[in-house]
A and B are shown apart, each in its own frame.
Chain A
Amino acid sequence: MPLPRLIPCLDVAGGRVVKGVRFQELRDVGDPVELGEAYSEAGADELVFLDIAATVEERETLVYLVRRVAARLAIPFTVGGGVRSIVDAEALLEAGADKVAVNSAALAQPELLTALAERLGSQAVVLAIDATGGEVRSHAGSRVAGRRASEWAREGEARGAGEILLTSIDADGTRDGYDLSLTRDVASLVSVPVIASGGAGSAAHVAAALEVAQAALLASILHENPARLAELRTELRGLGVPLRDAA
């Protein structure tokens, strides 16, 4: 198996990195290209850019951002948020993204996963699942999708998704650790890689997640601070987690 991966996640809107408790309180915290590059220098294995505004008007801004990121970064990156069609996905890949993450659009139209995989290859198609109590939610957690996360992950894999990005809404933002039972349930049912997301508060949490998943998404634990990623890598190595040599 390849080495476990650490994947910083950057929330973007209007071409900037933003941060906020609710959509109304978004605060500009920097340039995605600069922050992405700093994370890459600090040893990130991949990056995820999540467009949290995800409006139709936003698409062009996002494609332009992806172009700038691709011109500067030499590590893989995924773009998610508002990907609704093959046209959306192709525009992002053509601009230099390596993968697209789909969430609500795949729930509304599961055959989108198959179409994307046929067109782009499974390795470029990430199925993002948000779950609470093992049940899937769509539209940034606001709507009940009426499916079990483990079943949806399995169906997504069968339809062509090449990775599962699994976010526990219950654990998200708590900093009490990843939802290991949810992650274990999903990882044991699918044979594609699983990225655990939500709840990281310490290196021990990340190490525990990497025992059951192939990658860990890092958001609030990093505080948009690349130096924290470098520290975390050192701490994880101390805990015996094999990470790549980024030098």
Chain B
Amino acid sequence: MRVAVCEYGAGNVRSVLVACERLGADARATGDPDEVARADLAILPGVGSARSAMQGLAARGLDDALRERVAVGRPTLGICLGLQLALEWSDEDGGVRGLALLNGRAARLQQGRVPRIGWARVEPGGEEFYFAHSFVADTPAATATSEGIVAIAEGDGFLGVQFHPEKSGRAGARFLERCLSPA
């Protein structure tokens, strides 16, 4: 399986890459929109701020490439900021328009210590994953939560996770393996 990990100047591309390689995938970091549009699986990782991330995607034409593949139902995985960018809007940096692959918006976390950093249980499933975020998705596409926060959101072809499977030990590897196995 060919995996394209979007490289756009925002985030820990290397960890995602090595996690995929460890599971036997042919993964490449790339900023090439054609490669992203055609890969069997595209991964949109991301840490940092929404505005500079959206600018980084647009500058490389990766925003359209992602929309294109999701429109035809090609599997696409967004991780952390990658989930938040997939929404229509983020409140971060004074407000940023997202990719609109899913309905909803990203809002600042209001409870507990922020950034919310550490391992937390995701339901359904009951497995624990590593989170590190200050914003959270507010979306009707949510399919799993962690302490009342959206942990997973899904649409046609798009799967977004707020946690970092590539940093979540064995539970994370099991999760990525499911993403990498053809449906």
Contacts and interface: CB of A to CB of B under 8 A. Distances in A.
B169 to A, nearest CB: 5
Interface in A73-118: 74-76, 93-96, 98, 118
A2 B48 contact: no
B103 interface: no
Nearest to B53: A121
Interface in A202-217: 214-215
Interface string A123-151: 11000000000000000000000000000
Interface in A54-76: 67, 70-71, 74-76
A158 interface: no
A46 to B, nearest CB: 8
B14 A70 contact: yes
Contact of A45 (B81, B113, B119, B172): B119
B139 interface: no
A2 B119 contact: yes
Given A163-B117, A192-B114, A71 B18 contact: yes
A245 interface: yes
A192 B168 CA distance: 21
Given A118-B49, A124-B47, A244-B128, A74 B167 contact: yes
B19 interface: yes
Contacts of B167: 74-76, 98
Given A70-B14, A71-B18, A95-B14, A5 B118 contact: yes
B116 interface: yes
Given A3-B120, A76-B164, A96-B18, A122 B170 contact: no
23 contacts: A1-B113, A1-B116, A2-B118, A2-B119, A2-B120, A2-B131, A2-B147, A3-B118, A71-B18, A74-B19, A74-B22, A74-B170, A76-B130, A93-B12, A94-B14, A96-B12, A98-B12, A98-B132, A119-B48, A123-B134, A124-B48, A214-B117, A214-B118
List 10 A-B pairs, minimum CB-CB distance, nearest first.
A2-B118, A121-B48, A123-B132, A2-B120, A244-B119, A123-B115, A96-B14, A244-B128, A162-B115, A76-B167
Interface of B: 12, 14-15, 18-19, 22, 47-49, 81, 112-120, 128, 130-134, 147, 164, 166-170, 172-173
